[in-house]
Chain A
């Protein structure tokens, strides 16, 4: 027994969260998740305050409370904050906070990446929000349509672009973390058919982020190149087209709605079974609907562009897909309703919010089916009807489920119960307030009130409806503030809740409040609701009868299992607390922020800080050769401490990141062909570049440097590290030559990117590949250094595997770019 106690103390010491100043160095998911959550909530309150300014302004006709300019900043920032700084990050926050517990992992596989993502998000968010206090906030709507946004003089558009690009880094970091977490860090025995539904939803959403966010990043690059360097991607006078931005924005923007909705509805999938006291009905149907929704949501983007004059057959395709997505969405809702009906419902505040969410979301879904019909959309486009629709889907599909989640998980995270009485009050104030505010907007929209007008005339007949909406908005806000008060009020005298206070069946409730290690030992799971099905489960867990019950080596460790059947395959040493993630985020933040003001020197310094911090982080904290090959994890099982290639989580992280990166690249290629489509002559007459010669040379050199990198990995694997070093050294030279050759094409033929969209998009593709070659160069040098210093060896070659994987993608982009810019002009 003393042995077990020593183990427990050791675990507690290893997983202890640093205090004092070093509190900020924390990387543990339970701390970072909480920071994330608090920040998202703070931004939400800020966005809500902006909404109240909007409602005060619209309370009476001809109001002069705020100016038109300020009003534009307010609604733009309201939309931006709610979408980018609340709705998406709250998903990341909740997932980082509870997912490891649900899967039976001690932490997510890349805790420092979570911390890095959080700091990026915080810095970027404060920067974007702060701009309004200097009267320089973005003011052309949350989707930033050019030419309004490109040609207006203010700095707001740059703040929007750069601030949000920076925050998108955090989202992609979270996607990497969460996908690998769900696939590789489930407790042993948790086959894919036993994975909690929340995990499935996170997996789907992580995948969606990889295909949805990068097109926006590509759009941001084009946009910023136009703002900063006058490259005319969206300027019609020089062969650009504003519609391209709309495509890129909405290829991101529509899936984003589901990126917000699915993880929130996933909370319902966890909460409803608990309060119905039965397992979820139609588990497999919910999984397939989530997957189906994830796919179909990518076929909807043009329904935001129904009035841009696209051919009606294009509208038809997107209208049809928009109707089709109602099928899987409906299946999920029916499964939840069926679970409620088949169970015996325990009345509780989380359940109240769940039911409210369903009611509101269904109304939003129905108006969604209405606006998916193009002729109806023509009538209500850009009116308050759309405002009502989107708030019904987002409040019902995201805010209410998240509030249900707050009430449900508060005891787990904070150890205290929220007040039932205040909760019921908050719910009814929010429910009544919300409907009072937004139901009349359907009517004011039908009566023709456009979005984004800062005031309206009394003769329009919108006055009463707007007054009702404004009153409702304040009731809604009161309910929300009540909830916030309930969360932050001192609860010193309140007793700590007992473990698993709601009698839930899923694994996260096995955690004890205050344990930073997640679980005492990693249990073997045999069902979807282990706490219900195995009465002895908690005792076994607490007595350390599961796997990895100790931390003898003084390192933070978690178990990696196989994707489908969750067989233990590897012990992963996860990151320890440290300043590097924060320093790296600050450096990257400086790059983005100083670029806004065109302060090039501080920007370069920020870049140097970022690069140094990341390299140091990688050098000291990744692919570390362990002191022994295997570790006894209990149950007579010995698992390796070091794996490389596709067995390792790092390889998967690289694969996922590069998939997102490839999507961004393909979005730029889409831009090239988009310009070809709209121009009768493309390349324009009289433009010769970039010719076929230099692109071809560049393509061949890229293939050569890729081949050298791949060969270095294989030869090192075969035991010849010396030869591998030689090849990596050679690859450095070839990489530099390939970059020069690629730039030589447009350079020698004198392509001027400011003259027309054709040279601009050619240069843009070239710049993209050059940036990737430069990164690849750093990686090759890093690999060389790792071999030279003995940090990588023939048997410990994870670094080389990851570098090669990066080069697979970069070689593809390089060759495709060479073929497109060098070959395509000869085909037309």
Chain B
């Protein structure tokens, strides 16, 4: 059922303890903050300035926040990629065994792909702002 891997004993990683659960949720948390920032900024702006107000300044804000969020996710992704890439064996997509090395590789993979998903979601959320003109 399972292929035997050469790495079955516990190997100390040169990258230290590697990925933990917190780094898995960094990117989606950035998405959540970005989402809240966009929504709250636009909601307050439109409520205070009325429905005819042009969106220009809040659009700039959303673009800036989006760039920051993507930057953050990119940073988190690069960090994970480095750790992931420095895997001690060649079978990067194998993490069915009970070694810290494979646990680590697994979490890096999950975190990395979550970064991709978060980046897509950040871009999705920013799109409406590029098309709408006023608070209507």
Binding site for B on A (CB under 8 A): 189-194, 278-279, 283-285, 287-288, 291-292, 295-296, 298-299, 310-321, 323-324, 327-328, 505, 525-529, 532-533, 563-565, 677-678
Q: Taking CB as reference atom, which chain A residue is nearest B51?
A: A311
Q: In the complex, which residues of chain A have a beta carbon less than 8 angstroms from the beta carbon of B95?
A: 193, 284
Q: Decide: A314 near B42, CB < 8 A? Known: A288-B113, A321-B124, A323-B124.
A: yes
Q: Decide: A295 near B31, CB < 8 A? Known: A311-B42, A314-B42.
A: yes
Q: In the complex, which residues of chain A have a beta carbon less than 8 angstroms from the beta carbon of B132?
A: 312-313, 316
* Contact sample, A vs B, 8 pairs, CB 8 Å cutoff: A191-B102, A283-B96, A284-B113, A312-B128, A320-B125, A324-B120, A505-B1, A532-B1
Nearest first, the 5 closest Cβ-Cβ pairs linking A and B are A316-B128, A193-B106, A295-B28, A191-B103, A320-B124
Within 8 Å by CB of A285, from B38, B96, B113, B125, lies: B113
Within the complex, the shortest CB–CB distance from A199 to chain B, in Å, comes to 13
B98 touches A287 (CB 8 A): no
Which residues of chain B (35-58) have a CB below 8 Å from chain A?
35, 38-39, 42-44, 46-48, 51, 55
Question: Does B88 touch A at the CB level, under 8 Å?
Answer: no
B35 touches A525 (CB 8 A): no
Cα(A287)–Cα(B107), bound, Å:
10
A526 touches B110 (CB 8 A): no
Within the complex, the shortest CB–CB distance from A784 to chain B, in Å, comes to 35
Within the complex, the shortest CB–CB distance from A70 to chain B, in Å, comes to 40
Which residues of chain B (100-121) have a CB below 8 Å from chain A?
100, 102-103, 105-107, 109-110, 113-114, 117-118, 120-121
Within 8 Å by CB of A320, from B29, B46, B106, B128, lies: B128
Instruction: Give 13 A-B pairs besides A192-B21, A317-B125, A527-B2 with Cβ atoms closer than 8 angstroms.
Output: A191-B100, A194-B103, A284-B106, A288-B110, A292-B117, A295-B25, A311-B136, A312-B128, A313-B55, A316-B132, A319-B128, A320-B124, A563-B21
Within 8 Å by CB of A313, from B20, B42, B99, lies: B42
B107 touches A194 (CB 8 A): no
Q: Taking CB as reference atom, which chain A residue is nearest B105?
A: A193
Within the complex, the shortest CB–CB distance from A294 to chain B, in Å, comes to 8
B110 touches A317 (CB 8 A): no
Q: In the complex, which residues of chain B have a beta carbon less than 8 angstroms from the beta carbon of A190?
A: 98
A284 touches B110 (CB 8 A): yes
Q: In the complex, which residues of chain A have a beta carbon less than 8 angstroms from the beta carbon of B31?
A: 295-296, 299
B38 touches A317 (CB 8 A): yes
Size category of the B interface is 35 or more
Q: In the complex, which residues of chain B have a beta carbon less than 8 angstroms from the beta carbon of A284?
A: 95, 106, 109-110, 113
Q: In the complex, which residues of chain B have a beta carbon less than 8 angstroms from the beta carbon of A317?
A: 35, 38-39, 42, 125, 128
A291 touches B110 (CB 8 A): yes
Q: Decide: A192 near B1, CB < 8 A? Known: A313-B46, A313-B55, A328-B117.
A: no
B107 touches A193 (CB 8 A): yes
Q: Taking CB as reference atom, which chain B residue is nearest A679?
A: B47
B127 touches A320 (CB 8 A): yes
Cα(A124)–Cα(B64), bound, Å:
48
Within the complex, the shortest CB–CB distance from A250 to chain B, in Å, comes to 13
A192 touches B106 (CB 8 A): yes
Q: Decide: A564 near B103, CB < 8 A? Known: A284-B109, A295-B32.
A: yes
Within the complex, the shortest CB–CB distance from B37 to chain A, in Å, comes to 11
Question: Does B97 touch A at the CB level, under 8 Å?
Answer: yes
Q: Taking CB as reference atom, which chain B residue is nearest A203?
A: B21
A313 touches B128 (CB 8 A): yes
Q: In the complex, which residues of chain A have a beta carbon less than 8 angstroms from the beta carbon of B70?
A: none
Within 8 Å by CB of B117, from A189, A288, A311, A564, lies: A288
Cα(A728)–Cα(B131), bound, Å:
59
Q: In the complex, which residues of chain B have a beta carbon less than 8 angstroms from the beta carbon of A192?
A: 21, 103, 106-107
Q: How many residue-residue contacts, CB under 8 A, span A and B?
A: 140
Q: Decide: A527 near B124, CB < 8 A? Known: A191-B102, A291-B114, A316-B132.
A: no
Cα(A295)–Cα(B34), bound, Å:
12
Q: Scan B77-103; emit 1 where CB is below 8 A from any A CB, else 0.
A: 000000000000000000111111011
A311 touches B98 (CB 8 A): no
Q: In the complex, which residues of chain A have a beta carbon less than 8 angstroms from the beta carbon of B43?
A: 310-311, 314, 677
Cα(A296)–Cα(B21), bound, Å:
18
Within the complex, the shortest CB–CB distance from A679 to chain B, in Å, comes to 10
Q: Taking CB as reference atom, which chain A residue is nearest B59?
A: A313
Question: Does B63 touch A at the CB level, under 8 Å?
Answer: no
Within the complex, the shortest CB–CB distance from A680 to chain B, in Å, comes to 8
Cα(A291)–Cα(B12), bound, Å:
28
Cα(A525)–Cα(B51), bound, Å:
61
Within the complex, the shortest CB–CB distance from B103 to chain A, in Å, comes to 4
B47 touches A299 (CB 8 A): no
Cα(A316)–Cα(B32), bound, Å:
16
Q: In the complex, which residues of chain B have a beta carbon less than 8 angstroms from the beta carbon of A677?
A: 43-44, 47-48
Within the complex, the shortest CB–CB distance from B52 to chain A, in Å, comes to 11
Q: In the complex, which residues of chain B have a beta carbon less than 8 angstroms from the beta carbon of A529?
A: 1-2
Within 8 Å by CB of A316, from B2, B102, B117, B129, lies: B129
Cα(A568)–Cα(B98), bound, Å:
14
Within the complex, the shortest CB–CB distance from A757 to chain B, in Å, comes to 15
Q: Decide: A527 near B20, CB < 8 A? Known: A193-B106, A677-B43.
A: no
Within the complex, the shortest CB–CB distance from B129 to chain A, in Å, comes to 6
Cα(A527)–Cα(B5), bound, Å:
12
B28 touches A533 (CB 8 A): no
Q: In the complex, which residues of chain A have a beta carbon less than 8 angstroms from the beta carbon of B32?
A: 295, 298-299
Within the complex, the shortest CB–CB distance from A667 to chain B, in Å, comes to 13
A564 touches B102 (CB 8 A): no
Question: Does B24 touch A at the CB level, under 8 Å?
Answer: yes
Within the complex, the shortest CB–CB distance from B6 to chain A, in Å, comes to 15
Within 8 Å by CB of A299, from B1, B35, B98, B110, lies: B35
